[in-house]
Amino acid sequence: LYYRKGKTPRRPAPKKPTNNQKDPVGVYCRVRPLGADDEECCVEVISSTTIQLHAPDGLKANRNGEFKETQYSFKKVFGIKTTQRELFEDVAKPLVDDLIHCKNGLLFTYGVTGSGKTHTMTGSPGQGGLLPRSLDMIFNSIGPYQAKRFVFKPDEKNGMEVQNQVDALLERQKRESQQSVPKTPSSRQKVDPEFADMISPEDACKCEGVDEDSSYSVFVSYIEIYNNYIYDLLEEAPFDPIKPKAPQSKILREDQNHNMYVAGCTELEVKSTEEAFEVFWRGQKKRRIANTQLNRESSRSHSVFIIKLAQAPLDADGDNVLQDKNQVNVSQLCLVDLAGSERTSRTRAEGSRLREAGNINQSLMTLRTCIEVLRENQMCGTNKMVPYRDSKVTHLFKNYFDGEGKVRMVVCVNPKADDYEETMLVMRFAEMTQEVEVARPVDRPICGFAAGRRQRNQERGGPVDGEPPSTLSQLQNLPPVPSCEISDPSDDLTLPRVIECMEKRMKMRQMFTEEYNKAANMLKSMLQDLDGKLLSKENFLHEQRGKLGEKDKMIQNQKNEIDRLEKKSKMLEYKIDILQKTTNIYEEDKRSLQQELDSREHRLQRELSEKKRMEARLHGMVSDEKLRWQKECERRVNAKELEMQNKLWVKDEKLKQLKAIVTETKTDSRPEKPQRPSREKDRVPAKRSASPSPVPTTQPVRPMHRRSHSAGAERWVDHKPSTNVELDTVMQPNVPKAIKVTAPSEKALSKCDKYMLTHQEVASDGEIQTKLIKGDVIKTRGGGQAVQFTDIETLKQETPVAPSRKRRSSETGPNQDDKDGDWTDVETRCSVAVEMRAGSNLGPGYQHHGYPKRRKP
């Protein structure tokens, strides 16, 4: 097989159990008594399988303001009068029976802080809990069939090895010699006297159907999971009163059968209930507990007590344990005391207590999540990944839910009203857990030897488990010597009977002597073999020492080479440092020069842009000044022309009057003053500008209108900001049927087709310039309106120099016409410059207003 570079090959998936039969998780409920009689109770036992929760006073459970009652069903409910023995008979005894028959089991207690989990698991003086009763039942069942110490030995990979009798004997002697040395004070803890007798003799029980042709050994280990770290409570740390060593956390690993175990965990072989409970109590002293608001001795960690039972069949003769590792069956029972879930608002935890509570709640939440995902996968047929690795508790017991075994849970409930909300959450989780199914454990294969081997071996006095027969017991089996007293000379029976008995005894002594000689020869040959092995081992050690010396020389040479290379490396590092410093200096100079160059380039670019801007400004000023002077010259020329035309008209009128005087007769009445003739055709028109003709004061002003070809067919939005200045000029824009607004309006745009914006600004000559910006209203895809501008119309206001009419007097002559006049005409001229793009429409029209002549006072 070839794998891509950088990719780790996938590990093969664990083998699924072939057993298709499954059993649901057994969930039991135990209700503890109230602490005080006057406390309010929120739990009621309805039947042996159902309990009911009542909402306490002051808590409304639904919107109608009524108390809500809920019922929960379990495999069995134990009331406040249930004894520890009754609980053990229904819950733990089947698990112990399965343990002896090579089947795994898991039992854990779950509930709120102070609900009685530790009491259910451990018990009290005279009322042993599930753990001590399980140990007592195991040793009562396998007591006569236990193997010698160290016949079974853990292989540190969650398995067991079988040692021969000699290796086991040597290891026992070695351990006995180590135990003769005084131990540290921490290793001499004993069980408290009050816990010495937790189980009364009448409560003792044993398992039926134990295989008598097998040898058994019990191993126990005790761990705790604190802040999601695993610690070994049986680990013997060296005693240091000055600086005690903190315990080291352990890691989880997977064995060859895909079962999880704690690597490096201490496993002690025990031979009696008292010894096992002494080991448990020694670890219990190290467990982390604390005083909280809810419990005086609250468990701050999850404790796991593991009972591992190793059993192997005897050989065909029934003498020793069969030396075949494949025939060793290892089963285990895990007793878990979970820490209680709690709300920090009730416990008022701070600091480390708050962190402990957070980790406890997090691990319990992970357990709930795993159960929910398992239930969903089994009921809905999904294949979601179960998050076992999110917590050490779920990761350790992963093989119980994915593999095979029995799982039992005892839900402990405190009926007081303060725990009502937490109790409801516990009840929901417990009911959901009952719907999860676990594979049923299968029976282990049995070896093909005939049954009754141990009993036949004991009948013939042979050794069992390598224990040689007692010489004293065999000598006691010799036939007794009959009485040698002869009372009758004719007695012919006493002496032959004595002789026969003595001959039998002699034969038996000879047989014993032969057996002892045979055993001595066997022992001698065994010792010789051991001596040979010892010599071979000594030779091997000598060879290893020689090789070690050579390796030491090689190591010394390598050290010298390493020293030389280190010196060379230091010299190269020194040179590299010098080169690095030089490089840094050059880099700094380069950076400074680059910055100076960039600054100069920026300065040149800025000066160039400033120069271009100044040129553009000067060019604009020159063009504006030139345009202004051109306009001023045109205005003066037009004014001068108008003045000259007016003077010419005055002279013509005087000539007409003189002619009339000469030709006509004189009359008393003065002739009516003639109207001023129009010289519009003689005037020179300005750029698209017009001067209104003066009208007599007696005639009314008639406004003039100019309209677009498209005016009236479309609706316009006339947008005039409120900040515009009213100019009151002659020509004003007039848009009929227009919606006039002062601010942008989406509503007005939706009703019209055209848009006109009136914008005012100051022109270069200082006059106000008005721009009419026009456009079409377009519907957008999103339902709104947009304006597409089409043309711009510009209105410019100009104030021309108005000519004055001289008053004519009969007393003055014609030379004084320029000084006095009869009246003065005041005119206002307005020029409209229209700037439109090619192809644009004319837009709306204009309304022209004329002004009458005002007579000079």
pLDDT tens, residue by residue, 764-777 = 777 788 888 999 98
Same domain, 588 and 715: no
What is the token pair recorded at 75?
């495999």
What is the token pair recorded at 447?
């070896």
What is the mean predicted confidence (pLDDT) over 359-383? 87
Q: SS3 for 754?
A: strand
Q: Which residues touch 105 (CB under 8 Å, ≥6 apart)?
A: 95, 96, 98, 99, 332, 333, 334, 405, 406, 407, 408
- Quick check: 4 pLDDT over 50? no
- Quick check: 744 pLDDT over 80? yes
Q: Give CA torsion, residues 459, 465, 466, 470, to 10 deg.
A: -40
Is 340 inside a domain boundary? yes
Sheet architecture: strand order including 754-762 = 738-741, 716-719, 754-762, 768-779, 785-796
The whole-chain average pLDDT of the chain stands at 77
**DSSP-derived pairing of the beta strands 437-439 and 22-24:** antiparallel
* 305 in Cβ contact with 234 (< 8 Å): no
Return the number of other C-beta atoms located less than 10 Å from residue 369's C-beta.
16
pLDDT tens digits for 438-463? 888 776 655 656 666 777 766 665 55
What is the mean predicted confidence (pLDDT) over 326-339? 90
Q: Which residues touch 600 (CB under 8 Å, ≥6 apart)?
A: none
> Which has more pLDDT, 290 or 594?
594
Same domain, 191 and 316: yes
What is the mean predicted confidence (pLDDT) over 712-728? 80
Nearest alpha carbon to residue 423 among 82, 79, 54, 65: 54
Count structural domains, the chain: 3
Q: State how far the Cα of 635 lies from the Cα of 437, in Å rounded to an integer.
A: 108
Same domain, 222 and 351: yes
Same domain, 586 and 707: no
pLDDT band of residue 412 (cuts 50, 70, 90) is: very high
- Quick check: 15 pLDDT over 80? no
pLDDT band of residue 633 (cuts 50, 70, 90) is: very high
What is the token pair recorded at 473?
């017991």
DSSP class of residue 314 equals B
Q: Which residues touch 235 (CB under 8 Å, ≥6 apart)?
A: 247, 248, 266
* 429 in Cβ contact with 127 (< 8 Å): no
Is 631 inside a domain boundary? no
Q: SS3 for 745?
A: coil
Please report the pLDDT score of residue 832 as a whole number.
35
* 234 in Cβ contact with 306 (< 8 Å): no
Q: State how far the Cα of 339 lies from the Cα of 361, in Å rounded to an integer.
A: 9
Q: State how far the Cα of 607 lies from the Cα of 593, in Å rounded to an integer.
A: 21
Please report the pLDDT score of residue 601 as a whole number.
93
Same domain, 405 and 505: no
- Quick check: 238 pLDDT over 60? yes
Same domain, 91 and 222: yes
pLDDT tens digits for 122-168? 888 878 899 999 999 999 999 888 988 889 999 888 888 888 888 88
- Supply the CATH number for residue 137's domain: 3.40.850.10
From residue 514, alpha-carbon distances to 380, 457, 507, 519 in Å are 75, 20, 10, 8
Q: Which residues are annotated as a binding site for ATP?
A: 111-118
Please report the pLDDT score of residue 854 as a whole number.
36
pLDDT tens digits for 43-101? 999 999 999 988 887 665 554 555 577 899 999 999 998 999 999 999 999 999 999 99
Please report the pLDDT score of residue 232 as a whole number.
92
pLDDT tens digits for 514-565? 888 888 888 888 888 888 888 888 999 999 999 989 999 999 999 999 999 9
- Supply the CATH number for residue 760's domain: 2.60.40.4330
Same domain, 146 and 259: yes
Is 534 inside a domain boundary? yes
From residue 570, alpha-carbon distances to 9, 562, 567 in Å are 41, 12, 5
Please report the pLDDT score of residue 713 as a whole number.
67
Return the number of other C-beta atoms located less than 10 Å from residue 313's C-beta.
21
> Which has more pLDDT, 252 or 245?
252
SS3 content of the chain, % helix, strand, coil (to 5): 40, 20, 40
* 338 in Cβ contact with 305 (< 8 Å): no
Q: State how far the Cα of 564 lies from the Cα of 556, in Å rounded to an integer.
A: 12
Instruction: Please identify, among 552, 568, 592, the residue that sits at the C-terminal boundary of a domain.
Output: 592
Same domain, 329 and 215: yes
Q: Which residues are annotated as a binding site?
A: 111-118
Q: CB pairs under 8 A, 24+ apart, for 733-738? A: 733/758, 733/772, 733/795, 733/844, 733/846, 734/705, 734/707, 734/844, 734/845, 734/846, 734/847, 735/711, 735/844, 736/707, 736/711, 736/712, 736/844, 737/712, 738/844
Q: State the residue range of the domain holding 825.
A: 703-809+818-848
Please report the pLDDT score of residue 265 as a whole number.
92
What is the mean predicted confidence (pLDDT) over 184-196? 45
- Quick check: 221 pLDDT over 60? yes
H-helix or E-strand containing 78?
strand 76-78
Instruction: Please identify, among 529, 562, 592, the residue that sits at the C-terminal boundary of a domain.
Output: 592
| Cα Rg, the chain, nearest whole Å | 59
Q: Give CA torsion, residues 615, 618, 620, 621, to 10 deg.
A: 180
- Flag the least confident range among 150-159, 664-673, 806-815: 806-815
Instruction: Please identify, among 439, 473, 508, the residue that sits at the C-terminal boundary of a domain.
Output: 439
H, E, C per residue of 252-312? EEECCCCCEEECCCCCEEECCHHHHHHHHHHHHCCCCEECCCCCCCEECCEEEEEEEEEEE
Please, what is the Cα angle at 347 between 345 and 351, to 5 degrees? 90
Is 609 inside a domain boundary? no
**DSSP-derived pairing of the beta strands 26-31 and 76-78:** parallel
Q: SS3 for 799?
A: coil
Torsion-angle region of residue 248: left (phi > 0), alpha (psi -120 to 50) or beta? beta
Same domain, 565 and 712: no
Is 130 inside a domain boundary? yes
Nearest alpha carbon to residue 158 among 286, 70, 77, 265: 265
- Quick check: 807 pLDDT over 50? no
- Quick check: 391 pLDDT over 70? yes
Is 742 inside a domain boundary? yes
Same domain, 238 and 146: yes
**% of the chain exceeding 90 in pLDDT:** 27
Please report the pLDDT score of residue 352 as a whole number.
62
In the block, residue with structure tokens 């009485």:
483
* 49 in Cβ contact with 76 (< 8 Å): yes
Is 686 inside a domain boundary? no
H-helix or E-strand containing 655?
helix 494-663
Nearest alpha carbon to residue 281 among 189, 186, 187: 189
Q: State how far the Cα of 762 lies from the Cα of 774, in Å rounded to an integer.
A: 20
Question: What is the residue type of 502?
Answer: M
- Flag the least confident range among 195-199, 424-428, 585-589: 195-199
Half-sphere exposure of 604 (CA within 13 A, CB side): 6
Is 235 inside a domain boundary? yes
Nearest alpha carbon to residue 436 among 480, 470, 476, 405: 405
pLDDT band of residue 608 (cuts 50, 70, 90) is: very high
Please report the pLDDT score of residue 65 as a whole number.
52
